[in-house]
Amino acid sequence: MTKKFRICFESYESNPGHEEIVHSKEIIMNGLIEKPVDVFNFGLFHGDQIKLLHDCLDAFLKEQIALIYSEPQYCPKCKDIKLSRNGKRVSDYHDVFTDHKLEICRMRCPDCKYESGSTIQSVLGNSMSADLIKLQSELGATHTYRESEELFSVFSGAKRSINNHDRIKHTSELVGEQVGVLHRMESQVIAAEPAAELIINVDGGHINTTEDGKRSFEAMTAVVYRPEALVSNEPGTRNTLTSKHCAASALDDGQQQMINNTVAAALKQGLFPDTKVTALCDGAQNCWQIVEALRPLCASMLLILDWFHLAMKIQNISLPDEFKSRLIRVKWHLWRGKTEYALLRLDSLIKECPKAYRKRLENLQNYIMNNQSKIVDYRARQKAGLVFTSNLAESTVESLINQRCKGQQHMRWSREGLDPVLQLRAAMGSNDWNNFWKFAVRNIIK
């Protein structure tokens, strides 16, 4: 006895107390059910799964299309004149794994000859499903556009023109721009749960640019979180933030977008007039400028020069062996917040070391002097379990910029091309993406 299977698509009506009325029934797939020998004949092959999905979805979409024209449509110009059918037109529709050819009625006004839209794009706003738009923007934000194209081909089982790298780039930019719009709208949001304390890290990353006469430009990033959201992991690994909101910008607009996005991120984390804010930056003036925008909105603000960046400044200075221990003593004083002693020792070191090494030491001296008021007793804060460096948490620049934008040395960006990608990555890094993507797709369709 041979066992077989049959997969059908059936369209029917079901009313309480009445028999079901079947409108259509179509066999989607049939075949033999054989005893599996190994995983190579257990279940359906990838191509068969895609075909099954395509045929089921195709039948479903045709039923939905029929519903569009199940009620009378009126001419938008003549108002009370019904549109009449004037043939059909085949239109493309693209879903996550499949492409479809659908027949759309051409509707025409018998009076003024107005014709309604006769494509999926004109009727529903886009020829791509909302989920496909979402996935293209997600992959475009996390992978290069060409890598994204290849990933779509692997999972769809074939190359599809709708998923070419130019289309993915275009979709990512459109969605990213709409996420940026939402960020600007959210600057008016008031958080539901006030936070007693917030931590903010602000940093910048340099990106190779396509602009003539320039090698790079700086993109800004920020992360805002509550102290209790920082969870310790195994030694040697970065800690985890259970809740955070990110902000980013690549625009050359005097930091306006970056400030707005940072304020919105802080509000969503619970910034209120009674909140105490601790800000850690690498010492650059543009970073402090972003942080200062929060000062009028909080109770108090403590500015701290990030110990990670300060320590790296010292570590990157190479000196002859006889002078290394003296530089370590400078670091020892800085770790304890004793900037005056550190500057005295550094000044003495600059005068006595060979001239070839003085430039870097002088740069370190200027760096310390420019940020002297932000250098704290890092040792005491560490003992008290208080934040003193951004290195305790995942790197904002690494997660928002470097992973996507600097993976390949030949990668070049314009500010306008990078900013939408940063908006997407900031939303995805903030766990806001599930709330953002439908807003963005609807705005694109409008």
CA 354 to chain centroid? 48
One domain, residues 63 and 121: yes
Q: Pairing state of beta strands 240-241 and 230-231?
A: antiparallel
pLDDT digits (tens, 9 = 90+) for 86-144: 889 999 999 999 999 999 999 999 999 898 888 999 889 999 999 999 999 999 999 99
Contacts of 212 (CB under 8 A, 6+ apart): none
258, 180 in Cβ contact below 8 A?
no
In a domain, 281, yes or no: no
pLDDT in tens, 30-73: 999 999 999 888 999 999 999 999 999 999 999 999 998 888 88
Query: Residues 12, 87: one domain?
Result: yes
Burial of 92 (0-12, 13-18, 19+ CB in 10 A): middle
Q: Both tokens of residue 15? A: 């009313």
Same domain for 383 and 321: yes
- Give yes or no: residues 54 and 150 share one domain: no
**Domain final residue pick, 373, 388, 403:** 388
Strand partners, 248: 221
- Between β-strands 216-225 and 230-231, what pairing exists: parallel, antiparallel or unpaired? unpaired
Do 50 and 26 share a structural domain?
yes
Q: Does 61 fall in a domain?
A: yes
**Residue 180 and residue 121 share a domain:** no
Query: Over the stretch 262-321, which tens digit does the pLDDT of each residue have?
Result: 999 999 999 999 999 999 999 999 999 999 999 999 999 999 999 999 999 999 999 998
Residue 15 shares a structural domain with residue 76:
yes
Is there a single domain that holds both residue 60 and residue 144? no
- Residue 350 resides in a domain: yes
Domain enclosing residue 21, as ranges: 4-127
Task: Tell whether the torsion through CA atoms of 410, 219, 209 and 139 is positive or negative.
Answer: positive
| Cα atoms in the Cβ-side hemisphere of radius 13 Å centred on 444 | 26
The overall pTM is greater than 0.95: no
Asked if residue 137 and residue 29 are part of one domain, the reply reads no
Query: Of the residues 101, 127, 153, which one is the last residue of a structural domain?
Result: 127
Sequence-separated contacts (24+) of 352-359 with Cβ below 8 Å: 352/323, 353/319, 353/320, 353/323, 354/320, 357/317, 357/318, 357/319, 357/320, 357/323
Q: What number is the average pLDDT over the span 161-180? A: 95
Domains in the chain, number: 3
Same domain, 35 and 97: yes
First-to-final CA distance of the chain: 57
59 and 8 share a domain?
Answer: yes
Residue 23 CA to residue 136 CA, distance in Å, equals 36
